[in-house]
């Protein structure tokens, strides 16, 4: 029996948990190949959420919020699909910031122009982790997507009412295994590209160094 989610039907827990488990497995083992599509979907979700919140808050109308949600989904999907490296690095920064904020038990209060110290630290972590992740994104993409996959698997198993420790252990195990598999696959592809580039350069050099054919006889 799945974990009951307030406001949703009991069957929704099974569906959400199953989707998270499947998505986590796909990201853990094949994230470096499907990350562009995943980033596009994440951009659509974030864009629709921001569009709805802005539209509904400013206008006070759910209809305006839904219209802006559609517009935000399209814009977010385009931005995240075109700027996949930036989007993935930003997502990693947000996850790191959220983790730090949770560990510091932030309250997100805004009193007399002051901010929650935990929120300030979390924002700094977002910026720092984003910069580091973007700089090393080509080397870290397999590890990052495996980590996200392990997190989604653990969340899905928890929703499916699996014991917390068992769900966490499964998520960590999937992260380690997926990171190893994807790192090896990325290194193989990199070696193949380097060999192809070296062969192309050797052929070009050989063709350039080859003397021209002699002129035809008079």
Select from 95, 107, 104 the least CA-distant residue to 155: 95
Give the model's pLDDT for residue 108.
60
pLDDT tens sequence across 160-171: 888 889 999 999
Domain ranges of the chain: 11-203
User: pLDDT band at 176, cuts 50/70/90?
Assistant: very high
The string of pLDDT tens digits covering residues 90-149 is 878 888 888 888 888 776 655 555 667 788 888 899 899 888 888 887 777 888 888 888
Check whether 198 has a pLDDT greater than 60: yes
Q: Please count the residues of the chain.
A: 218
Count of CB atoms within 10 A of residue 85's CB?
15
Percent of the chain past pLDDT 90, that is, above it, reads 9
According to the model, what pLDDT value does residue 169 have? 93
């Amino acid at each position: 029996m799945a974990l009951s989610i307030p406001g949703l039907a009991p069957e929704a827990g099974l569906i959400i948990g199953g989707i998270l488990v499947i998505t986590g497995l796909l990201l853990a083992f094949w994230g470096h190949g499907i990350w562009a599509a995943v980033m596009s979907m994440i951009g659509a979700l974030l864009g629709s959420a921001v569009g709805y919140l802005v539209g509904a808050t400013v206008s006070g109308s759910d209809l305006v919020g839904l219209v802006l949600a559609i517009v935000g989904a399209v814009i977010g999907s385009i931005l995240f699909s075109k700027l996949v490296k930036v989007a993935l690095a930003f997502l990693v920064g947000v996850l790191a910031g959220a983790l730090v904020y949770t560990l510091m038990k932030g309250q997100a209060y805004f009193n007399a122009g002051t901010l929650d110290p935990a929120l300030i630290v979390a924002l700094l972590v977002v910026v720092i982790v984003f910069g580091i992740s973007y700089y090393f994104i080509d080397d870290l993409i397999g590890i990052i997507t495996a980590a996200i996959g392990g997190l989604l698997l653990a969340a899905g198993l928890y929703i499916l009412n699996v014991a917390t420790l068992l769900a966490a252990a499964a998520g960590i195990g999937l992260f380690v295994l997926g990171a190893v598999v994807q790192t090896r696959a990325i290194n193989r592809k990199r070696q193949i590209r380097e060999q192809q580039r070296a062969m192309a350069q050797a052929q070009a050099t050989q063709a350039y160094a080859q003397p021209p054919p002699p002129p035809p006889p008079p």
